[in-house]
Amino acid sequence: AIHSLKLSRNHVDWHSVDEVYLYSDATTSKIARTVTQKLGFSKASSSGTRLHRGYVEEATLEDKPPQTSHIVFVVHGIGQKMDQGRIIKNTAMMRDTARKIEEKYFSNLATHVEFLPVEWRSKLTLDGDTVDSITPDKVRGLRDMLNSSAMDIMYYTSPLYRDELVKGLQQELNRLYTLFCSRNPEFEEKGGKVSIVSHSLGCVITYDIMTGWNPVRLYEQLLQKEEEELEESWMSYEEQRLLEELYITKQRLREIEERLQGLKASTISKTPVLKFKVENFFCMGSPLAVFLALRGIRPGNSGSQDHILPRTICNRLLNIFHPTDPVAYRLEPLILKHYSNISPVQIHWYNTANPLPYEHMKPSFLNPTKEPTSVTDGESASTVPSPTTSPVMVRRHYGESITNIGKASILGAASIGKGLGGMLFSRFGRSSTTQPPEAGKDGGEGDDKRATTVGTPPFSQSSSAFLEPTLELEHRIDFELREGLVESRYWSAVTSHTAYWSSLDIALFLLTFMYKHDQDDTDKSNLDAI
């Protein structure tokens, strides 16, 4: 060979300008080449693969990949230090599942959604190795696992290291966005959109970056409020004089601090700002609701998302969780309190035929209440139902279909027993399912309707247990994955928190909201053409 190139598992030989062969360096291939060459065959003809320059088909302008109209930053939670690079693998799984969904449901669109991993933990120094040095040696493996995962929560609640975590994620988000725009200059020009998918603790950090929440600023506001309360309370002349001097001194101190901050950077880092507006903020397995509740967020009187996340910062907030995820919490009851008694929206299975759009799904009650035994004179049948006055039917739980099959088998056996003289068994079957004949008839018809309609509320139309329009949220926020019929809830509690990445149901859910405007425009153009 006139030239040779060594690769990791192969090598390439140039015998001439036109004769280029690829050879495998595996042991079996080497043995085969040795035997065939001793038999008189050439090396190229024995085990080599000839390489050719050129192309099979001429390229066209339509062969280029679709334009990226939406980028999604995927933010990890705790445990990244324990398994570095895990977010890259998880994002690759999410990207692969999204490609399958795109080919199946969104192939008619000329746009493309790109998922980009955001790895912010490995670049942080934090306390160095101080925590490792104070860790006892017994059950070291378990302790190291906790130090590499749960310790991130303690770092974030620490006033010393919180700013470092926030700044690390903010800088990485801005760096990736700037890099993507430099390689795709048409993205901003054509109005490209940005969404964020955060997992676990990453949801809390991302939320604080977008809203600018800072515990130090909160503490200053608390001190100012205490000063105002002291001024309003009664006190002697001497106390008033001393408080006035203290107020003047603090005001002077603030002025000096502001001048000092103008000359050099403050020790307290400034609230990070993103270089882009977030279109959709998807939280997966998120404890954000707990953090907001501990910060004093309480339910309000309007159903607007602005109560916890202003629309000027993020257009849409969506909270995705598995029913058995022990880390995930609901956000809707922090906006309207009575939504704690309303079930989250069920995410459709990816292979559901003609699913009901999420914006058309009516809220349904979660916990049943007993029907009143008597009606007072002040009550009227024409009263508008509400979560506290309407009779609520039992919510259908996951896996209940298997229980219903068992009940149907028992009732079927009981009916057969009637003809065979099994009166005792028949009476036992009736006693376990005793109900008014009319109610049972209506309930059966309601079950049939529910079985044939996807995404309908889990009770019949006769019980109009829906909410007043003034009490509903503008947009639903909590979305719940469906459990499998044979899924163990105890095992799911262990695995559900990390099972979001490869879910086809979640991939379809994400793309449904990100492609919503593109689909609406396509449908409108098709109608105009017709």
Q: How many other C-beta atoms lie within 10 A of the C-beta of residue 423? A: 11
For 523, the 3-state DSSP assignment is helix
Using the CB atoms, write b or e for 337-369: b if 16+ within 10 Å: ebbebbbbbbbbebeeeebeebeebebbbeeee
Asked if residue 169 lies in contact with residue 120, where contact means CB atoms within 8 angstroms, the answer is yes
Q: What is the pLDDT of residues 373-394, one digit of tens each?
A: 444 444 444 444 444 333 333 4
503 C-beta neighbours (distance < 10 Å), count: 20
For the ranges 321-335, 402-416, 473-487, the lowest mean pLDDT is seen at: 402-416
- Residue 215: closest CA among 294, 127, 298: 294
Degrees (nearest 5) of the Cα angle 300, 303, 309? 80
Alpha carbon of 424 to those of 81, 351, 414, 418, 427: distances in Å? 65, 45, 9, 9, 5
Give the orientation angle of helix 215-232 with respect to helix 237-263, to 10 degrees: 160
- State CA 527 to chain mean position distance: 34
How far is residue 196 CA from its own chain's centroid? 9
Task: Report, in angstroms and rounded to the nearest whole number, the Rg of the chain calculated over CA atoms.
Answer: 32
Distance CA 82, CA 117 (A): 17
198 catalytic? Reply is: no
Q: Higher-confidence residue: 150 or 366?
A: 150
Average pLDDT over residues 21-40: 82
Q: What amino acid is encoded at 21 in this protein?
A: Y
Please list the residues that pair with 278 across neighbouring strands: 194, 314
User: Considering the chain, what percentage of its residues have pLDDT values greater than 70?
Assistant: 71
Per-residue confidence at 221, pLDDT binned at 50, 70, 90?
low
With tokens 């693998």, the residue in question is: 89
Q: How far is the C-alpha of 467 from the C-alpha of 465, rounded, in Å?
A: 7
Strand partners, 514: none
So where are the chain's domains? 3-51, 65-212+273-366+473-528, 220-266
CB 15 within 8 A of CB 23: no
- Distance, CA of 392 to CA of 389 (rounded, Å): 9
Residues in the chain: 530
Q: Rounded to whole angstroms, how far apart are CA atoms 278 and 203?
A: 13
Q: Which of 200, 286, 492, 503 is an active site residue?
A: 200
Q: What is the pLDDT of residue 151?
A: 87
Query: Does residue 460 register a pLDDT over 50?
Result: no
Secondary structure string (H, E, C) spanning 440-466: HHHHHHHHHHHHHCCCCCCCCCCCCCC
Any bridge partners for residue 376, and if so which?
Answer: none
- pTM metric for this prediction: 0.66
**Predicted local confidence at residue 441, as pLDDT:** 39
Tokens of 131: 């925590």
Q: What are phi and psi of 28, to 5 degrees?
A: -65, -40
Q: Choose the most confident range, by mean pLDDT, from 177-191, 252-266, 357-371.
A: 177-191
Contact 60, 105 (CB under 8 A): no
Q: pLDDT tens digits for 90-115? A: 999 999 999 999 999 998 887 889 99
CA distance 194 to 280: 7
Distance CA 329, CA 200 (A): 10
Q: How many whole angstroms separate alpha carbon 316 and alpha carbon 277?
A: 11
Q: What are the DSSP E strand ranges found in 58-192?
A: 67-75, 111-118
pLDDT the model gives residue 244: 82
Q: Which of 15, 11, 12 is nearest to 2 (CA)?
A: 15
Residue 394 is classified by DSSP as P
